[in-house]
Amino acid sequence: MSVVSELSQVRKKGGKRKPSALHKGDGKAAIFFLGPWFIGLVLITAGPMVASAYLSFTDYSLLEAPNWIGLENYTRMFEDPRLINALKVTFMYVLISVPLQLAAALALALVLDRGLRGLAIYRSVYYLPSLLGGSVAIALLWRQVFGADGLVNAVLAWFGVEGQGWVSHPDYALGTLMILNIWTFGAPMIIFLAGLRQIPQMYYEAASIDGASKWRQFRSVTIPLLTPIIFFNLVLQLINAFQTFTQAYVVSGGTGGPADSTMFYTLYLYQKGFASLDMGYASAMAWLLLAIVAGMTAVNFLVSKYWVFYND
């Protein structure tokens, strides 16, 4: 949107020659370029969304035509202990791993921002987990690393500690997935790095002339000027974390186990839709998830007024 308005401003500045003719040509080109996106939107996003909204009011087994049942799927959700448990697991995961992930990203960004030699290499190395984190291969690797005979226990054994199968114990399985999420801090880190570069050097100079310590500079210059970036990362990572599926699916072998301890909301939704053939209920669950994520994001934006500082 903003790109469009900037472009139109540029055009205005560029003179007054034949604006109408330009618009005509632009219109066709715009439709041409927007076409594929628009078709994609209708077929791949909007269509299925409308369909799932309808299906959420039906009893739909996939094998038979959907059958209208009104709000029953939605009322059923309140009496489903496994759904409540899935919400609990998902919220725990989001509320613990996202702040820690952002903290790790910021810490690394601060270190890398000090102008190390070979910065590009470090940046790539730390970004790598972000590219891989959501993949099946890494999730499989995680199972090995945190397994009973895995790397973690081998390291613990050097210190004489006898470990156990972390992914196969209900008290620890979710923790291993949180660590996996924290480890994929690369994407927010890159954004933090860019944000740090935006902070004018003169503020730091002024602060150090006033005798501010490094810590004081971090708290009073870096953090306030970085709040828009923190906010951006927070919103993005929260939404991402709510939608986590692959890791939980692969690490638990598709079961959400042991004993539902890694039963993420999305995983339960998938099980309901495809294993129990209860696609109506699964569709209703998808809409509840959308409402939750939208709600969380809205709250985020409301609260942002009180802590995000826009320097313009």
Partner 1 sequence: MTSSIRFAGRAGLAWRTSAVLGAGVLALAACNGDSGAAPADDEPTSEGSSSAAADNGDTGNVEIRFSWWGSDDRHTLTQEVIDLFEEKNPGITVVPDYTDWGGYWDKLATTVAGGDTPDVMTQEERYLTDYANRGVVADLAELGLDTSMVDESVLTSGTIDGKLAGVATGINAYTIVADPQMFEDAGVEMPDDETWTWDDFKQISQEISDALGDGMYGVQDYGGNEAGFNIYARQHGESLYAEDGTLGYSDATLESWWQDLVDLRESGAMPDGSRSVEIAEGGPEQSLLGTNSGAMGFWWTNQLSAISSAAGRDLVLLRPPGESEFDRTGLYYKPAMFYSVSATTEHPEESAKFVDFLINDPEAGALILSDRGLNANTEVRESVSAQLDPLEQQAAEFLADVADEIVDGPPAPPNGAADVPEITGRINEQVLFDTLSAADAAAQFTSEANAAIGQ
287 near partner 1, rule: CB under 8 A = no
Tell me how far apart the alpha carbons of residues 237 and 225 are, in angstroms, rounded to a whole number.
Answer: 20
> Which CB atom, from 195 or from 280, has the smaller least distance to partner 1?
280
Tell me how far apart the alpha carbons of residues 192 and 103 are, in angstroms, rounded to a whole number.
Answer: 11
The CB-of-137 to partner 1 minimum distance in angstroms stands at 16
Of the candidates 217, 187, 45, 19, the one whose C-alpha atom is nearest the C-alpha of residue 109 is: 187
Considering only 17, 25, 28, 64, the residue that binds partner 1 (CB under 8 A) is 64
Considering only 41, 51, 107, 111, the residue that binds partner 1 (CB under 8 A) is 51
Alpha-carbon separation of residue 281 from 45, 58, 68, 158 (angstroms):
20, 8, 12, 49
Beta-carbon contacts of residue 87 (< 8 Å; ≥ 6 apart):
265
Instruction: Give the per-residue contact string, 139-158, with partner 1 (x = CB under 8 A; - = no).
Output: --------xx----------
The CB-of-149 to partner 1 minimum distance in angstroms stands at 9
> Which CB atom, from 49 or from 292, has the smaller least distance to partner 1?
49
3-state secondary structure at position 62: coil
> Which CB atom, from 65 or from 302, has the smaller least distance to partner 1?
65
Greatest CA separation for the chain: 81
The CB-of-252 to partner 1 minimum distance in angstroms stands at 8
Tell me how far apart the alpha carbons of residues 232 and 300 are, in angstroms, rounded to a whole number.
Answer: 10
Beta-carbon contacts of residue 231 (< 8 Å; ≥ 6 apart):
300, 304, 307, 308
Place of tokens 């540029």: 10
178 near partner 1, rule: CB under 8 A = no
> Which CB atom, from 48 or from 295, has the smaller least distance to partner 1?
48
How many other CB atoms are found less than 10 A from the CB of residue 300? 15
Residue pair 245/266 in contact (Cβ under 8 Å)? The answer is yes
275 near partner 1, rule: CB under 8 A = yes
Considering only 222, 227, 271, 304, the residue that binds partner 1 (CB under 8 A) is 271
246 near partner 1, rule: CB under 8 A = no
Place of tokens 């725990």: 92
220 near partner 1, rule: CB under 8 A = no
40 near partner 1, rule: CB under 8 A = no
Binding piece for partner 1, criterion CB under 8 A, among 29-37, 117-125, 180-188, 275-283: 275-283
> Which CB atom, from 135 or from 198, has the smaller least distance to partner 1?
135
The CB-of-63 to partner 1 minimum distance in angstroms stands at 4
The CB-of-309 to partner 1 minimum distance in angstroms stands at 44
Q: E-strand spans in the chain?
A: 58-59, 67-68
Residues that bind partner 1 (CB under 8 A): 43, 47-48, 50-52, 54-55, 57-58, 61-68, 147-148, 164-165, 167-170, 253-255, 257-260, 271, 274-277
